[in-house]
Amino acid sequence: MRCLALAEAIRELGDEATLVTKEMPEGILKRFQEEDVRIQMTHATAGSAEDVKETIAIASAIGASWVIADGYAFGEEYQKGVVDAGLRLLIIDDYGSSKHYHATIVLNQNIGAAPALYEGKISHSALLLLGPSYALLRREFREWKGEPSGTSEMASRILVTFGGGDPPNATAWVLNALKEMPSLSITALVGASNPHGEELESLTRDHMHISLKRDVHNMPTALATSDIVVSAGGSTTYESAFMGVPAITVIIAENQKGLAEGIAKQGATECLGWLQDCKPGVLRKHVQALIEDQKKRDGMVIAGRSLVDGCGAPRLLRAITGDKIFLRTVRMSDAKLLHEWTNDADVRKASFSAKLIPWEEHTAWLHKKLSEDTTRIWIGCDSDDVPTGVIRFEEKNEETILSITVAPSHRGKGFAKELVRLGVLAYLRAFPNAAIHAYVKPENAASAGLFKGMGKEQSPTSDGALHFLLNRHTITS
């Protein structure tokens, strides 16, 4: 699902994404279709010479300038063929196993990724992006506004998830191991491509403390309402780390080994090794021990959140596009920073109300705004991940009002324009029919100049405020 996360982020920037594939489970294809991603089926074997030709032809037909390849078949010859055709290439890599990389960008989001893995294999002009700060989480995680709720003294809610297909039926193995622990409330997520439905349904009927949920799209909520997750060592490991949910993992594929073992060494999970080598009693023992050890679970939450911030996809796209910033969703943990910016002297002078905002009033306001479906608040982060400012969209009197504050350290450097451009594109992706309005005090020359260049000026309001209307055309023309 790494490519789905990237496709979502590409669409949020107002660009088009096309999935080129020979075969893919129907449930996953449906997810791409739901994101308005074009799908081009190919007959070529991945990474073959024929695949190179088809990729170049498709890219030419749709006017694509970038090719993003995720898989182990896209070796040296494939990369060279694509790049020699004048296309820029991003390779999503896990092992560093290619003899040479011709790609424009090589991404390895695994926790153990290091430059030494690519020494002598990559050209000096290529960009190497390494580590879990580039973990490609889907939009539903990036837009999550909550914070870890904290661990309970005694855990009882167990989430079991092994992805959309689960060929080895690891889900049933875990449920059979835990069915002898009736004090637990166990929820198993079953993907659309899982072929073991009847067996799993039987387990549910025979054990009242086990329930099944099929084809769940809202994974953040499923994780947030759990105390412990039991999963494979794949992308769910990053998702549970981001959500602050302690995890126990087993390895069911070779490409999971580095991630599962690496993140366990950082204290964010427990890894029990290969599924086929693990005994049911060992799993029960570790689940019971983690249930009783709140201190350990607290430590796992802290370790996971320090590793994965959920911004991997927009951070990667900033490298692709050359944008000055990427956007991340504001959360309550940003309250102190936003309060400092809000009460900055220049900000108060430019605001329609000059009074300082008390801390209690500010936190109550932010909590309310984060709970509103139509309000969106993003922080822009620069190439060093330093916050550059905040942009907010909220409905007032049947209008969508845009507000922007640039951090004192980043004023006068063009960051305001980038905040507005990316913010408007992201908001219109969620609300395509919105009319976005900005109101500015006449004496606020900086904001007036910004919106004159990015919006259509309207008649001033009755109290003399300058009024601008923004849409996709005005910010990109």
* CATH label of the domain that carries residue 365: 3.40.630.30
Strand partners, 325: none
Same domain, 122 and 164: no
Same domain, 339 and 452: yes
| pLDDT tens readout for residues 151-164 | 788 899 999 999 87
Same domain, 195 and 135: no
Same domain, 24 and 35: yes
- pLDDT of the residue at 51: 95
Same domain, 255 and 374: no
Boundary (domain end) residue, out of 140, 165, 198 = 140
- pLDDT of the residue at 410: 96
Boundary (domain end) residue, out of 90, 123, 140 = 140
Whether residue 313 lies inside any domain: the answer is no
Which pairs from 6-11 meet CB under 8 Å and 24+ separation? 6/68, 6/136, 6/313, 6/316, 6/317, 7/32, 7/35, 7/37, 8/35, 8/138, 8/139, 8/313, 9/139, 9/142, 9/313, 9/314, 9/316, 9/317, 10/317, 11/35, 11/36, 11/37, 11/429
- pLDDT of the residue at 148: 76
- pLDDT of the residue at 415: 96
- Per residue of the chain (477 residues), give pLDDT as tens: 788 899 889 888 888 899 999 887 777 788 888 888 899 998 899 999 999 999 999 999 999 999 999 988 999 999 999 999 999 999 999 888 888 999 999 999 998 899 999 999 998 889 999 999 999 999 999 989 888 767 788 899 999 999 878 888 999 999 999 998 999 999 999 887 788 888 888 888 888 899 999 878 789 999 999 999 999 998 899 999 999 999 999 999 988 998 999 999 999 999 999 999 999 999 999 999 999 999 999 999 999 999 999 999 999 999 999 999 999 999 999 999 999 999 999 999 999 989 999 999 999 999 999 999 889 999 999 999 999 999 999 998 889 999 999 999 999 999 999 999 999 999 998 899 899 999 999 999 999 999 999 999 999 999 999 999 999 999 987
Whether residue 318 lies inside any domain: the answer is no
Same domain, 116 and 163: no
Whether residue 361 lies inside any domain: the answer is yes
The two three-digit tokens of residue 43, written as one number: 């007959």
For CA atoms 459, 464, 470, 473, the dihedral sign is positive
Residue 181 phi/psi, 5-degree rounding, is: -120, 75
Boundary (domain end) residue, out of 124, 140, 156 = 140
**Total domains in the fold of the chain:** 3
Same domain, 289 and 328: no
Instruction: Tell me how far apart the alpha carbons of residues 469 and 441 are, in angstroms, rounded to a whole number.
Output: 15
Instruction: Say if residues 193 and 165 touch (Cβ distance below 8 Å).
Output: yes
pTM (global) more than 0.95 = no
- pLDDT of the residue at 355: 93
Q: How many CB atoms lie within 10 A of CB 289?
A: 12
Whether residue 317 lies inside any domain: the answer is no
| pLDDT tens readout for residues 275-291 | 999 999 999 999 999 99
Whether residue 227 lies inside any domain: the answer is yes
Q: Which residue's structure tokens are 């995890």?
A: 247
Same domain, 390 and 407: yes
Same domain, 106 and 244: no
* Residue 342 belongs to domain spanning: 323-476
Contacts of 293 (CB under 8 A, 6+ apart): none
- pLDDT of the residue at 216: 81
Same domain, 360 and 424: yes
Whether residue 312 lies inside any domain: the answer is no
Same domain, 145 and 132: no
CATH code assigned at 252 = 3.40.50.2000
Burial (0-12, 13-18, 19+ Cβ within 10 Å), 243 = buried
Task: For residue 403, give the amino acid letter.
Answer: S
What are the Cα distances from residue 387, in Å, to 73, 190, 297, 328, 419?
38, 39, 30, 10, 11
- pLDDT of the residue at 11: 86
Whether residue 282 lies inside any domain: the answer is yes
Same domain, 87 and 186: no
Helix (H) or strand (E) segment spanning residue 449: helix 445-454
- pLDDT of the residue at 295: 95
